Amino acid sequence: MFLRKSSSKPIAPIWNGRCGWCCGIRNSVRRLRPEPRLPLQNPPNIQKGFKMPNKLLLVENPTKAHSLQTFLGEEWRVEATFGHVCDFPRKQMGIEIQAHFKPTYLPLPEKTKLLARIKQGAEKVEAVYIGMDADGEGESIAWHTLRLINLPNQIPVYRLTLSAITADAVQAALQNPAALNKGLMEAEETRRILDRLVSYNCSPAATKLLKRPVRVERLEALLLRMLVEREQQIEAIEPSPCYTLRGKFQVGETLIEASLISFKEQPISEGLRSQSQVQTLMRGLEKGVFWIGDVRTSDET
C-alpha cells in the first residue's frame, strides 16, 4: 500500500452582477436627445410598376446601393453613407458627465463632402427613405445622417426594412414603410457612451502601466474584472489535505493497480481528509482478502 497527498480547492461561483450605469445613461440619452424625424402619416401607396419621381434612399453599404439602384430605376437616387458619419471628438472625451452624460458628436472629416452631396440631393426630392440595417447601429447611423443633413420639414422621411436585396423584397418594403426605432437608437447611443467612458479613461492608464499602446474596450474590461474576482475567490479558499489510497496486486504474472473508492459499502467520493483516517483504513485492509468481482473490456481509441 502507498499514499498520495493532493490539494483540492472548490471552484468559487462565477461573478454575476449588474450595475446601474447602462440604465442611467440610457435614461439620460432619452431625456437629452431631440426627437428624431419620424415618418409623416399617409405614405404614398406604391403599386407594382408605379413610377415614383425624385425619391432618395439612404443605405450604409455602397455595394447594396448599386444593387438597389438597378431595382428602383432612374426615378430613384440611392446614396451610401459608408458606415458611421460622425463620432466623438478625437482629442476630447466628448461626454459631459455632470450634464447627464450629454454626448458631443462631430461629423467625420472624410464624410464632409458626402454629407454635403446627400444634403444637396435631399433638398430636391419629394421623400427620403432610410434603408440602413434594422439594428441599433443602423438606427444610429440613420438618426445622425438625418440630423446632419437637416431636411426641410416638408420633406417626409420613411423607414424601410429590407429583408433581402431583391426586387420583390424591395417592393414589399416600399409597400410597408415604418418609423425609425427610437428604442434601438437610444440603446446604441448608450453603448457608444459607455464604450467611450471606459476607453478614454482606461486606455492611457493601461498604456502607461504596460509601456506600450493599449486600447481598453468596455467588454474586455468587464471580462477582465470577472476573471480577477473569480481568481480572488479561489485564492481566498483555504486548501485542505486530501488523500487517496491505492494498492498493487499481483495476479499471476499480471500486476494490477487499484484505488480505494468505498469501504464497508460507504463510497469515498471526495477522498480522505485526515492521515489518521487513512492509517485506520490501512490497518483494516492489511488483513483483508481481495478478489476480482467483474472484468470489463472496451476498445481504446
Predicted local confidence at residue 29, as pLDDT = 55
Q: Could you give the CA distance from residue 242 to residue 275 in angstroms, rounded to a whole number?
A: 9
Predicted local confidence at residue 196, as pLDDT = 92
Q: Are strands 102-103 and 95-96 parallel, antiparallel or unpaired?
A: antiparallel
Q: Could you give the CA distance from residue 59 to residue 138 in angstroms, rounded to a whole number?
A: 9
Classify residue 129: in a domain, yes or no. yes
Q: End-to-end alpha-carbon separation of the chain, Å?
A: 31
Whether residue 175 contacts residue 46, with contact meaning beta carbons closer than 8 Å, is answered with yes
In three-state secondary structure terms, 166 is coil
Show which of 128, 154, 189 is a domain's final residue. 189
Both 32 and 167 in one domain: the answer is yes
Both 150 and 266 in one domain: the answer is no
Predicted local confidence at residue 53, as pLDDT = 43
Q: For residue 276, which amino acid is it? A: S
CA dihedral angle for residue 276, residue 280, residue 285, residue 286, rounded to 10 degrees: 90
Classify residue 43: in a domain, yes or no. yes
Both 34 and 146 in one domain: the answer is yes
Q: Which three cell numbers stand for residue 216?
A: 481598453
Instruction: Tell me how many domains the chain contains.
Output: 2
Show which of 189, 220, 255 is a domain's final residue. 189
- Ranges of H-type helices in 38-93: 62-72
Classify residue 26: in a domain, yes or no. yes
pTM attached to this predicted model: 0.62
Classify residue 231: in a domain, yes or no. no
Classify residue 208: in a domain, yes or no. no
Both 172 and 256 in one domain: the answer is no
Predicted local confidence at residue 47, as pLDDT = 44
In Å, what is the CA distance from 130 to each residue of 39, 144, 181, 259?
10, 12, 12, 70
Classify residue 210: in a domain, yes or no. no
Classify residue 295: in a domain, yes or no. no
Classify residue 130: in a domain, yes or no. yes
Both 34 and 162 in one domain: the answer is yes
Which residues in the chain show pLDDT less than 50? 1-18, 34, 36-50, 52-53
Give the domain CATH number at 84: 3.40.50.140
Q: How many Cα atoms occupy the beta-carbon half-sphere of 124 within 13 Å?
A: 9
Q: Could you give the CA distance from residue 295 to residue 255 in angstroms, rounded to a whole number?
A: 15
Both 138 and 53 in one domain: the answer is yes
Predicted local confidence at residue 21, as pLDDT = 52
Both 184 and 55 in one domain: the answer is yes
Q: Could you tell me the residue range of the domain that residue 34 belongs to? A: 21-189
Both 111 and 245 in one domain: the answer is no
Q: Could you give the CA distance from residue 218 to residue 17 in angstroms, rounded to a whole number?
A: 16
Both 182 and 252 in one domain: the answer is no
Show which of 148, 167, 189 is a domain's final residue. 189
Both 271 and 158 in one domain: the answer is no
Both 149 and 262 in one domain: the answer is no
Both 172 and 34 in one domain: the answer is yes
